[in-house]
C-alpha cells in the first residue's frame, strides 16, 4: 500500500515540477486536472486489486476448509449402525472411529424417510473433542416411525476443545438393577462434561440407551480424582451385552 501511494505522490510532484518556477493559472489548472485524472485511475485500479485479493483469499480459505473436511471424512470409520424404539421415539445410532491424527468437531445431519421415500424427519447434532483412535456414538431420535435413513458428516479440526478420553480410566460395578461406573481423571487438568453413555444390546442389536454424567451435574472431575455415575438397567427389556461410550473434554 505504501509503495502505491508513493508512486502517486511522485507522479504529482513530477507534473508540478515540470512547469518551471512560475506557472500560469491555465497551466496550474491543467496540472490539477491531470492529477485528478491520475488519482481517479489509481483509486479504480487499487479497488480492483483489493477486490481481487479479497476474493482470492476467501476462495483459498474455502477451498482449504473443503479439502481439510474431505481428508478428515476419509479417516472416519463407521463401526456399526443401530436402530431401536423407546418411549414412543425411534432412535438411530452410528458408532464411529476417528482414524485421523486430529481432534475433530463433528457436525452431523440425519434424514428419515418413509417407505415411499418421503422425508418424515430430520435431525442435526454436533460432537466435539472427538479424539484420535477413539470411538463415539452419534444418536438422534425421530418422533415418527421411519423405513430408512441417511446421514451426512461434516468433520472439522477442533481447535477449541481438548479431548480427555484417553486420560479417563474406568471401573464397573454391577447390581441387579444398575451399573455403577467409577471414572478416574488421570490428566493434570480438570475434566468437564464427562458422560457415560451405555447402549444395551441383544443379539448385537440395540434395545435401549441410557446415560449419566460422572460427578457433578456438569460432569466435572478434578485432576487425579474419581467420580461415579449410576445407570439403571432397562426395565423389562432383555439384553445380553452393552457398550460403554465415555466422552468429555478438558
Average pLDDT over residues 174-184: 96
Q: What is the pLDDT of residue 243?
A: 97
CA 74 to the chain's CA centroid: 16
- Per-residue pLDDT at 118 exceeds 90: yes
Instruction: Name which residue leads in pLDDT, 121 or 32.
Output: 121
The residue assigned the cell 476448509 is: 65
Which pLDDT tens digit goes with each residue over 85-117? Answer: 998 999 999 999 999 999 999 999 999 999 999
- Per-residue pLDDT at 10 exceeds 50: no
- Per-residue pLDDT at 1 exceeds 90: no
The C-alpha cell at 107 is 457436525
Q: What is the pLDDT of residue 32?
A: 58
For 238, the 3-state DSSP assignment is coil
Whether the Cβ atoms of residue 215 and residue 168 lie closer than 8 Å to each other: no
The C-alpha cell at 223 is 485432576
Instruction: Name which residue leads in pLDDT, 130 or 45.
Output: 130
Q: What is the pLDDT of residue 68?
A: 75
Residue 83: exposed, middle, or buried by beta-carbon count in 10 A (0-12, 13-18, 19+)? Answer: middle
In this prediction, residue 163 has a pLDDT band, given cuts at 50, 70 and 90, of very high
Query: Angle 40-42-48 (CA atoms, 0-180°, nearest 5)?
Result: 105
Helices (H) and strands (E) in the chain, counts: 2, 12
Torsion of CA 231, 202, 153, 248, to 10 degrees: 20
In this prediction, residue 2 has a pLDDT band, given cuts at 50, 70 and 90, of very low
The C-alpha cell at 114 is 418413509
Spatial CB neighbours of 23, under 8 Å, sequence gap ≥ 6: 31
- In angstroms, rounded to a whole number, what is the distance separating the alpha carbons of residues 8 and 190? 59
Whether the Cβ atoms of residue 157 and residue 75 lie closer than 8 Å to each other: no
- In angstroms, rounded to a whole number, what is the distance separating the alpha carbons of residues 240 and 219? 28
For 123, the 3-state DSSP assignment is strand
In this prediction, residue 218 has a pLDDT band, given cuts at 50, 70 and 90, of confident
As a 3-state breakdown, the chain gives helix, strand, coil percent values, each rounded to 5, of: 30, 45, 25
- In angstroms, rounded to a whole number, what is the distance separating the alpha carbons of residues 97 and 74? 11
- Per-residue pLDDT at 7 exceeds 60: no
Which pLDDT tens digit goes with each residue over 20-73? Answer: 445 555 655 565 566 666 666 656 666 665 565 555 555 556 666 666 788 999
Q: What is the pLDDT of residue 3?
A: 40
Instruction: Name which residue leads in pLDDT, 69 or 193.
Output: 193
Closest CA to 139 of 161, 160, 123, 119: 123
Amino acid at each position: 500500500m505504501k509503495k502505491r501511494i508513493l508512486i502517486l505522490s511522485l507522479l504529482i510532484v513530477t507534473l508540478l515540477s515540470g512547469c518551471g518556477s512560475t506557472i500560469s493559472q491555465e497551466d496550474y489548472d491543467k496540472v490539477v486536472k491531470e492529477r485528478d485524472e491520475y488519482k481517479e485511475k489509481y483509486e479504480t485500479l487499487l479497488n480492483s486489486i483489493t477486490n481481487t485479493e479479497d476474493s482470492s483469499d476467501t476462495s483459498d480459505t474455502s477451498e482449504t476448509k473443503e479439502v481439510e473436511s474431505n481428508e478428515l471424512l476419509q479417516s472416519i470409520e463407521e463401526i456399526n449402525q443401530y436402530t431401536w424404539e423407546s418411549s414412543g421415539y425411534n432412535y438411530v445410532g452410528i458408532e464411529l472411529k476417528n482414524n485421523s491424527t486430529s481432534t475433530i468437531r463433528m457436525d452431523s445431519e440425519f434424514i428419515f424417510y418413509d417407505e415411499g421415500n418421503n422425508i418424515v424427519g430430520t435431525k442435526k447434532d454436533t460432537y466435539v473433542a472427538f479424539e484420535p483412535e477413539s470411538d463415539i456414538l452419534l444418536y438422534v431420535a425421530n418422533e415418527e416411525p421411519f423405513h430408512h435413513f441417511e446421514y451426512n458428516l461434516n468433520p472439522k479440526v477442533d481447535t477449541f476443545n481438548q479431548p480427555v478420553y484417553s486420560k479417563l480410566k474406568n471401573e464397573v460395578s454391577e447390581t441387579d438393577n444398575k451399573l455403577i461406573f467409577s471414572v478416574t481423571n488421570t490428566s493434570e487438568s480438570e475434566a468437564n462434561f464427562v458422560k457415560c453413555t451405555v447402549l444395551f444390546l441383544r443379539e448385537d442389536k440395540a434395545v435401549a440407551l441410557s446415560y449419566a454424567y460422572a460427578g457433578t451435574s456438569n460432569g466435572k472431575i478434578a485432576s487425579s480424582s474419581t467420580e461415579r455415575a449410576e445407570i439403571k438397567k432397562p426395565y423389562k427389556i432383555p439384553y445380553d451385552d452393552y457398550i460403554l461410550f465415555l466422552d468429555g473434554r478438558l
